[in-house]
Structure 1
Amino acid sequence: MRALVLGATGLVGSHALRALRAAGCTTVGASRRRPADEHPDGWIEIDFGRMTGEHDWLPLLAGVDAVVNCVGIIREAQAGDFDRLHRAAPVALFAACERLRVRRVVHVSALGSGPDAATAYWRSKGAADADLLGRALSATVVRPSLVYGEDGASSVLFRALATLPVLMLPMAHEARVQPIHVDDLAALIARLAMAGGEAPREMAAVGEAPRELAAVG
């Protein structure tokens, strides 16, 4: 199986890439810049936010069996970034996948995403989720809780986000969350990418036990 992993230098994407390789997949990573230790034949340098037309994706999907989208930002550098990166580019990607009949699509969203959610972050994620689930594709939307690992400053993905309303409330450090380790999430993503028609359409990815937010990381 040949899998294209988008956002492959991020916390989730880099671990998903390794998990797919460990499972025997041929992988192609995609990010703004190729890491120095990655071979050019196995990497594509793209500006995801500019890939907002179906035609932008068609050449990159040739020979691809599975697409894993791990692209995400936690705050906007400029107005419209959430919409471009979380909605417009993924929707164009999904349209191209549908046209080329890509076998599997796994889209990493966020727990709490939805069209009527409280924040622009969640709404932009929810718009892409709805588009994918409405297409004639074998696809799974994965919605992780907080993601943690051993990656230095990125040890907790989405930690202290202004986009999470609970963090703007008094005593937010006492909020209880159900975090998932990045290795567990990556293993789940790999299994879903390699799954057949029996894979679920939507899945919440959470850890085993609730913990106080202040204790995560």
Structure 2
Amino acid sequence: MELIYKGKTKNVFKLEDGHYLLQFKDDVTGENGVFDPGANSVGLTIDGAGLAGLKLTSFFYSKLNEQGIPTHYVDANFSDATMTVKPATVFGKGLEVICRFKAVGSFLRRYGAYVQEGQELDSFVEVTIKDDERLDPPISADALHMLSILSLEEYAILKERTIEISKFVAGELEKKGLTLYDIKLEFGRDAKTNEILLIDEISGGNMRAYKGNTYIEPLELEKIILAD
């Protein structure tokens, strides 16, 4: 097993069969010790966050695979907090795609002159470039096309799948009496077929979920969703 990449919340290893292994860590993104799924640096460490994130990711990815939505997920091993995935290439140096159902976080900080906190948003899709030095700047479809990061046709697929997946996740949360405010997803291209795939994770660490007006922490979210 060859270590390929050490990330903020996961380490990536290459397996002999060509697949990759993602090792989930207990580190989560945030600022000043406060969790923030949209932050571009590790803000704190939460014991058990890695395994909780893996269990929730496995739950959502398994359901998406059953529905025929393309993902990189193969299987998961909870005993060592790892997930086996298909090889995929990222767009440019990496993109993050956020689907927003409520005005919170960085959206509220930027557009607070026009919206109230918690205001309803109509599945607003926002793409940012993964670039810590430049604080993950948002980028438009036209700019992505002009910079040859992805085509306008690929952007349309990206947006459609983001809304479809995000609404699915929101529906699963709603079954447990929770409301999804926003979620951050990542996509890439299948290394063999070039098909656009959902990659990375779907966990409490990359979404904001509320029960009424109460924010649900990532570990608590995993317990609620996976409870029988």
From the two aligned structures, give the one with the greater helix fraction. Answer: 1
TM-score, normalised to structure 2, is 0.25
TM-score, normalised to structure 1, is 0.26
